[in-house]
Amino acid sequence: MKLFIDIGGTHLRSELQMPSGVISDSVSSQEHDLISFIEKKLELYPFITFIGISYAGQIYKGEILSAPNIALKEPKIKEYFESRYDLRLEIDNDLNCAAMAEADYFKSDSLLALYVGTGIGSAFIDEGRLIRGSKNMAFEIGHIPYKQTSLRCGCGKTNCLELYASASGLQKWMEHLKMPILSFSELENSKNKQKRGIALDFKEALLFATATLITLTNPKIIVFGGGVIEHNPQIVEYLKENIEGQAFSGSLCGLNFYISSLENGAMSGAKLLEENIYE
């Protein structure tokens, strides 16, 4: 039996693979702690031999270094479970997982994944290798300095791009301006100028992130995913229409834009962790 988990700032999703089929589960990641969630699964299904986790945070060698959008109980999660149970556990950053799954889907060796959900994240595969950085934190696009605000990011800073181009950022702006909480499309189509302004700030920040990443990485494919993109594919049309003049023109030559076709790229990537292709 194998257990696969995708945990972000909003959902904790799991898939238990058994000889008789798959059991899927989805709970709130704000109300459920990851360690207790896995322990309960192991109590019910003691024959789990592999756990693959896609995690919306900074991961290095089986340890959670930080998690701006998730409450954290036990950072050394790999050691915690492998020392207590007869199983193997692999965990990686959610965008790394998503990029692995997208590269697998597109059969591409040069791909940039940019996902917008609760947070915003990116990962880059070049010549078939995932570019990780020394502590597996490369391409943390959400936390690059963008504009100074009176809001605070989950990472502690007040100027992160994620404060503009993410679902959590949109929510922070609506709360700050004492507005009712609306969806992105409700903001975008509102008659109210201030509400439309939040959506426009979001799109401009995402365009900046997209242009910056394309200029830095020069991929063959850029693929957009995550809940906000899934529900608002028009955002990618906006990016395509406005990318010229933003990204370095040479990097745009031959570049293909896609919206993810995967139901859950991060979860698909969690399933690839067992093979260690992108070690």
Q: Which residues of this chain interact with Zn ion, rule CB under 5 A?
A: 143, 153, 155, 157, 160
The distance of closest approach from Cβ of residue 156 to Zn ion in the complex, given in angstroms and rounded to an integer, is: 7
For residues 64 and 270, which CB has a smaller minimum distance to Zn ion in the complex? 64
The distance of closest approach from Cβ of residue 163 to Zn ion in the complex, given in angstroms and rounded to an integer, is: 7
Q: How many CB atoms lie within 10 A of CB 258?
A: 17
225, 226, 230, 231 alpha-carbon torsion, rounded to 10°: -150
* DSSP track, the chain: -EEEEEE-SSEEEEEEEETTEEEEEEEETTTS-HHHHHHHHHHH-TT--EEEEEESSEEETTEEEE-TTS--S-S-HHHHHHHHSS-EEEEEEHHHHHHHHHHHHHT-SEEEEEEESSSEEEEEEETTEE---TTS-TT-GGGSB----SS--TTS-SSBGGGTSSHHHHHHHHHHTT-----HHHHHT-S-HHHHHHHHHHHHHHHHHHHHHHHHH--SEEEEESHHHHH-THHHHHHHHH-BTTB-HHHHTT-EEEE--SS-HHHHHHHHGGGTTT-
The distance of closest approach from Cβ of residue 171 to Zn ion in the complex, given in angstroms and rounded to an integer, is: 15
CA distance 85 to 19: 21
The distance of closest approach from Cβ of residue 109 to Zn ion in the complex, given in angstroms and rounded to an integer, is: 30
For residues 160 and 239, which CB has a smaller minimum distance to Zn ion in the complex? 160
For residues 41 and 143, which CB has a smaller minimum distance to Zn ion in the complex? 143
For residues 57 and 225, which CB has a smaller minimum distance to Zn ion in the complex? 57
The distance of closest approach from Cβ of residue 117 to Zn ion in the complex, given in angstroms and rounded to an integer, is: 15
The distance of closest approach from Cβ of residue 153 to Zn ion in the complex, given in angstroms and rounded to an integer, is: 3
The distance of closest approach from Cβ of residue 103 to Zn ion in the complex, given in angstroms and rounded to an integer, is: 26
For residues 38 and 116, which CB has a smaller minimum distance to Zn ion in the complex? 116
For residues 223 and 228, which CB has a smaller minimum distance to Zn ion in the complex? 228
For residues 5 and 153, which CB has a smaller minimum distance to Zn ion in the complex? 153
